[in-house]
């Protein structure tokens, strides 16, 4: 292609834009991998399988977080390069997109620290979920593994947990609890979905059904599976069944 072509360098930019779109789709696979690690680690705790594997699960989670960081930094470097090329006149010069992108990527990576991976909110949340499930299952929690929390009376934990098992909509023990990312309240999945869908059909907003909550516009996208609570409920049921036998 001639260097003075009116299409240059937009044909290259369009190709890179398309490739970036495909790369961004990979994030869904990373999220799925993180969820699989979380589910496996929580299952090991609930079934009281040798929890020595927790360390390996933590390493896997760190690897996924590192992959996500590296991918996002690469995307940021390429997007910054494309924006720079679009803002300049390259009609008579062939821009070296690879060199420009690599320069920006090196700058981004220069601030990376391995210690930051374990400070990532997803890793912190992962460890918190493990601690919560251990407490729900009546297992010992290593005090050195929980610097941010004070020891709480076990009876209080059990009482509070059993209260949280009840759906504010059905007033029954939940089977598939989902958490509202906005206000933090949990509900039975089917019950809250019905409320939201019913309200939206009438062009109205759905309020959080938890008494006293001010969140007045609950959306389906606000809901996420509450894995920790679900496992706690399942464990509670198993313990109750074993006591009734």
Q: Which fold has domain 157-245?
A: Herpes Virus-1 (3.30.40)
Q: Helix, strand, or coil here: 153?
A: coil
- The answer to which of 23-32, 113-122, 215-224 has the lowest mean pLDDT is 23-32
Q: Can you tell me which residue has the tokens 């009482």? A: 159
CA distance readout (Å), 162 to 9, 81, 171, 229: 63, 54, 12, 10
Average pLDDT over residues 188-217: 92
The more confidently predicted of residues 1 and 7 is: 7
By mean pLDDT, which of 44-48, 100-104, 173-177, 229-233 is the weakest? 44-48
Percent of the chain with pLDDT strictly greater than 90: 23
pTM over 0.85: no
CA 231 vs CA 87, 161, 162: distances in Å: 53, 12, 13
Mean pLDDT of 107-118: 90
Task: Write down the domain spans for the chain.
Answer: 1-151, 157-245
What stretch of H or E contains 188? Answer: strand 186-188
When comparing pLDDT for 65 and 132, which is higher?
A: 65
- Mean pLDDT, rounded, for 226-238: 79
Burial label for 147, CB within 10 Å (0-12, 13-18, 19+), is: exposed
> Residue range 7-14: average pLDDT?
59
Identify the band that residue 48 occupies on the pLDDT scale cut at 50, 70 and 90: low
Model confidence at 91, pLDDT cuts 50, 70, 90, reads low
Mean pLDDT of 50-56: 60
Top pLDDT among 100 and 140 is at: 100
């Amino acid at each position: 292609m001639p260097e003075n072509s009116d299409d240059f360098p937009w044909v290259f930019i369009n190709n890179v834009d398309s490739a970036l779109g495909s790369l961004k789709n990979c994030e869904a696979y990373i999220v799925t991998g993180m969820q699989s690690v979380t589910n496996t680690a929580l299952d090991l705790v609930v079934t009281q399988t040798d929890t020595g594997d927790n360390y390996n699960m933590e390493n896997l989670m760190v690897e996924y977080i590192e992959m996500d960081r590296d991918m996002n930094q690469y995307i940021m470097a390429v997007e910054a390069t494309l924006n720079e090329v679009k803002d300049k006149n390259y009609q008579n010069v062939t821009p070296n997109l690879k060199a420009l992108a690599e320069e920006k990527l090196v700058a981004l990576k220069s601030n990376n620290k391995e210690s930051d991976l374990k400070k990532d909110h997803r890793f912190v949340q992962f460890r918190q979920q493990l601690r919560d499930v251990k407490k729900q299952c009546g297992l010992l929690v290593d005090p050195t593994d929980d610097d941010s929390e004070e020891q709480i009376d076990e009876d209080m934990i059990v009482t509070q947990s059993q209260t949280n098992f009840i759906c504010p909509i059905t007033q029954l023990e939940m089977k598939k609890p989902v958490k509202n990312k906005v206000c933090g309240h949990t509900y039975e999945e089917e019950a809250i979905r019905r409320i939201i869908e019913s309200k939206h059909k009438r062009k109205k907003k759905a309020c959080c059904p938890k008494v006293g909550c001010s969140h007045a516009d609950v959306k389906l996208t606000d809901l996420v599976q509450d894995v920790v609570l679900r496992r706690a409920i399942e464990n509670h049921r198993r313990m109750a069944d074993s006591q009734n036998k």
